[in-house]
Structure 1
Amino acid sequence: MKKLLTVLSCITLIVLVLVSATGCATTAEAPVAESNSVAEVQPAVEQQVESVADTAIEAAIKALDPKRGEGKTIGVVAFFQANDWNRNALQAITDNLEVYGYTVNIIDGNGDAAKMNAAVNTHIANKVAGIIMAGGDGTALKSGCAKIVEAGIPYTVIDMFQEGAITNVMADNWGGGTQLGLYVVNETKGKGKVLILDTPSWVTLLARADAADVVFNPHRSDDPTKGIVVERFDIDAGNAVTDAQTKVAAALAADPDNNIKAIVTTWNLPAVGAYAALKAAGRTDDVVIASGDTGKDVLQAMREPEAGKWVFMGQNSYVLGTRAAQGLDLALNGQADLVPFAQFGPTYFVSNLGGPDDAVIDGSEIKLQSPEQHWMEVFGTEFGTIN
């Protein structure tokens, strides 16, 4: 009996030791488990941070009278309706206003700033409730926008900054341009001639060109075999495809040593023209294209068998149109204070060599994090831990 008690005591002691060891192991592993949970929660947290403003605006809009737009006309001044970016933005404006009873009157400027300013005068004369400037040369449209302010009409703008606008909606042109510049540097190894096709009077496009150009600074040289040589071209907004094709073709003809290694365009139509020139010259394989703006024309062209490496900074103009319409809607209903002065839509980085199985890895990575998340990821310890 005594031996049996001794055996049972030993077994009990072993069990207690094992339980204690298991508890210690669990305690020791807790930080690892917590670290994993932070990583798993990260995407959800980022999405939550990004959508805070959108959620507040959506909630405010839903709380308004669903028939608030009846009897009111919104005047829209369109840059032109000949490309996908503009059509998408205009569709969003219509979708987000007509549903509440507003009448949407769109006047197409056909790429002419003078016609767009004249359209502003027409809308003012028609005593519209609000105006949306949907793209265009922001510099040339300042006089028209000043008249809107003088008339006391609330207005919002897309792809520009204007004095007195309720909100200025655009893509992150500065970050997007930097990404394009980084991609070109990586692909060219910091050597060769780079052509930049821009429409500089359009401030947001100029921002993309300048941001890309700054990335080239550490690599600049007068010799394209030793560094980057940049040549910039102004592209006519009203004849962008043909103008870009003509200028790129001339540059390629003057480049017998094939020093041109990349072409940066600040929007999609010049990219289409540049690509046509490269195809005609048989240079698609050795010249990288880095362009701005989403367009079906670019997406289809970059998937052609002849296309070489091609990336573009994409944006969703439907989102931009939505935010411009929502901002005006709120302002007309006494809630302008909820609308941000400047709003950025999502920016994409699209490559014809990329996809879910071959993601684009060039360029910088941006993460939205809290101080606690950043501390954990960078230092690997709990926030506030001092080693």
Structure 2
Amino acid sequence: MSIEKSGSRFGRRDLLKLSAAAGVAVAGASLVGQKAVLAADEELSLKGKRIAISATGTDHFFDLQAYNAQIEEVKRLGGEPIAVDAGRNDGKLVSQLQTLIAQKPDAIVQILGTLSVIDPWLKKARDAGIPVLTVDVGSTNSINNTTSDNWGIGKDLALQLVSDIGGEGNIVVFNGFYGVTPCAIRYDQLVNVVKYFPKVKILQPELRDVIPNTVQDAFTQITAILNKYPEKGSIKAIWSAWDIPQLGATQALAAAGRTEIRTYGVDGSPEVLQLVADPKSPAGADVAQQPAEIGRTAIRNVAKLLAGQTLPRETYVPALLANKANVGEVTKKLGIG
């Protein structure tokens, strides 16, 4: 089915491109309003407050940026940060949450984490009367979760991918962290889009991205997949819920000379955006989040809560989809070019 416009055929691929562009336009418009929000937050204070910041890990660009921004924002607002990093060790993460609860801070902010691991301890904090806020954690025990709109991110990235491959072909998917809420949402949105394009197939079994050694492991797994599918055109794209597996996949494609395949991911890590900007690189698109702004927003929400304000269930910080055509504009807008 197609739509007639100005005497030309306006087909499904055109609709896909318009949908992806619309997502970028909306996010860009949201960015413009941030200065007004910042001005309204100038009266906030955390003077005399002890704010616990619990990070699952800080080895990834997003995590480190959000973590450091939270520490600095607590200090800027006059509070005392109690910041701890579990180094991607679930046992250490549980232990640090236990320790923080015992210290009875004025609030706890948890950055990421597998829900089944952290949620019992977030509940214990709430039961102890400690306000719990989160970054990228969809927990019922969190008063407020500061995040990107992962439904929009997942949809826009999936539409970009499907548009780029012409609505048909095999795609390889990394799906190793479905227990992490943002990854699950982005994956579900990919599946929701793909089901309307019967010529697009997600190859089975799906790959499992890992931490640590994410780049090296993705490189190895994609190299093996390329050996299994040696014919050009047998794979059209590679998708991951974050962009560190995308980095390893992109490197593997370049090493194998299979640059006809495109890679897609989320976060806006500078090294991946550089690859998207390279016309010879197979990196097709990366949705750039604003981790430092997410971190600062979470701390401002803590200050609002402690001042007696009512918070929404979730606070969304805009993200921008960067593709081959607009990556220069996106990096300039985000100040990470």
- The TM-score, its normalising length taken from structure 1, stands at 0.71
Whole-angstrom distance in 2 between the partners of 1:233 and 1:203: 18
Encode CA deviations 1:229-251: one digit per residue, 9 max, x unaligned. Answer: 43422212333222222221111
Q: Superposition RMSD on alpha carbons, in Å?
A: 2.7
Contact 1:169-1:324 within 8 A present in 2 as well: yes
Amino acid at match of 1:315: Q
Aligned twin of 1:4: none
Aligned twin of 2:191: 213
Whole-angstrom distance in 1 between the partners of 2:327 and 2:74: 35
Shift of 1:300: 3.0
Amino acid at match of 2:245: P
2:52 pairs, out of 75, 85, 89, with 75
Contact 1:93-1:325 within 8 A present in 2 as well: yes
Shift of 1:357: 8.1
Whole-angstrom distance in 1 between the partners of 2:34 and 2:250: 37
Q: Quickly say closer, same or farther: Cα 1:139–1:204, change in 2 above 3 A.
A: farther
Higher gyration radius (CA): 1
* 1:40-59 superposed matches below 5 A: 55=37, 59=40
2:210 pairs, out of 222, 236, 241, with 236
Aligned twin of 2:21: none
1:319 matches 2:293 = yes
1:308 matches 2:286 = no
1:280 matches 2:255 = yes
Encode CA deviations 1:322-354: one digit per residue, 9 max, x unaligned. Answer: 12101111222322x1x2111111010102343
Whole-angstrom distance in 1 between the partners of 2:248 and 2:153: 21
1:351 matches 2:323 = yes
2:66 pairs, out of 85, 89, 93, with 89
Q: Percent identity?
A: 25
Structure 1 stretches of 5 or more lacking a match? 1-42, 222-226, 359-387
Aligned twin of 2:267: 293
- The TM-score, its normalising length taken from structure 2, stands at 0.81
Shift of 1:315: 0.7
1:261 pairs, out of 236, 248, 255, with 236
Aligned twin of 2:334: none
Q: Quickly say closer, same or farther: Cα 1:302–1:153, change in 2 above 3 A.
A: same
Contact 2:112-2:136 within 8 A present in 1 as well: yes
Contact 1:112-1:238 within 8 A present in 2 as well: no
Alignment length (residue pairs): 302
Aligned twin of 1:196: 173
Q: Quickly say closer, same or farther: Cα 1:321–1:230, change in 2 above 3 A.
A: same
Encode CA deviations 1:211-235: one digit per residue, 9 max, x unaligned. Answer: 01221113235xxxxx434342221
Whole-angstrom distance in 1 between the partners of 2:172 and 2:139: 30
Q: Quickly say closer, same or farther: Cα 1:279–1:355, change in 2 above 3 A.
A: closer
Shift of 1:193: 1.0
Whole-angstrom distance in 2 between the partners of 1:217 and 1:107: 42
Contact 1:179-1:212 within 8 A present in 2 as well: no
1:132 matches 2:104 = no
Q: Quickly say closer, same or farther: Cα 1:47–1:89, change in 2 above 3 A.
A: closer
Shift of 1:91: 2.3
Aligned twin of 2:14: none
Amino acid at match of 2:254: K
Aligned twin of 1:333: 307
Q: Quickly say closer, same or farther: Cα 1:357–1:102, change in 2 above 3 A.
A: closer
Aligned twin of 1:162: 139
Whole-angstrom distance in 1 between the partners of 2:239 and 2:30: 31
Whole-angstrom distance in 2 between the partners of 1:305 and 1:178: 24
2:151 pairs, out of 164, 171, 174, with 174
Contact 1:69-1:97 within 8 A present in 2 as well: no
Whole-angstrom distance in 1 between the partners of 2:72 and 2:193: 39
Shift of 1:355: 4.7
Name which structure has the greater RCO, CA cutoff 8 Å, separation 6+.
2
1:248 matches 2:240 = no
Aligned twin of 2:333: none
Q: Secondary structure at the match of 2:84?
A: strand
Q: Quickly say closer, same or farther: Cα 1:76–1:48, change in 2 above 3 A.
A: closer
2:91 pairs, out of 86, 107, 114, with 114
Shift of 1:309: 4.8
Contact 1:197-1:235 within 8 A present in 2 as well: yes
Contact 2:253-2:282 within 8 A present in 1 as well: no
Contact 1:86-1:317 within 8 A present in 2 as well: yes
Q: Quickly say closer, same or farther: Cα 1:322–1:357, change in 2 above 3 A.
A: closer
Encode CA deviations 1:159-199: one digit per residue, 9 max, x unaligned. Answer: 11112322111111111111111112111112221011122
